[in-house]
Structure 1
Amino acid sequence: MDDCRMSVMAIYGPLVLATLSGWKQPRLYLALDTTVLWNRFCMIHLSVVCCGRAVPLLWRVLEHNSVTVAFKALLLRFALTQRV
């Protein structure tokens, strides 16, 4: 459900960018995960791994009944749909 009074990217985007700009570690670990919801939707999220936790960077829900998503299509979809 969209709420025209609130923009997730307007709030979360600058927070993530500020955090990553101050990253002091020599490596940045990313986790890519998929989850199927109600055998109808596939939720895909790309997260930064920090202190043993996955902090979401990007996420997308597709109408797709499997956790198997073509990697190239996934990356292309993320790249084309993000507004930072």
Structure 2
Amino acid sequence: MSKPAAIPSGSWPRRMAVEFAAGYCGEKNTEDFLKRVGKEYPLPRIEEGRRRLWLKDDLDKAIAPEGEDQSDLADEY
């Protein structure tokens, strides 16, 4: 079942559950985010049973890989 993406009040946590990771990557819901995990987005760094957590640093690298021109990233949205 898909849940809406979430945006935390304050700052982004270093480790994020799927709802926050989806929101951080600009996805509208967790289902859309999970479809891209393993392709455009990294696999969760922590997988313990049903608990899956993504690291902010890993998501940053997927969103804006080093060596790519960063000047137009804001233009995507």
Give the TM-score category using the shorter length.
Answer: under 0.3
Task: Indicate the structure whose relative CO is greater, using CA pairs within 8 Å and at least 6 residues apart.
Answer: 2
Give the TM-score, by structure 2 length: 0.24
Give the TM-score, by structure 1 length: 0.23
Q: Which has the larger radius of gyration?
A: 1
More helix by share: 2
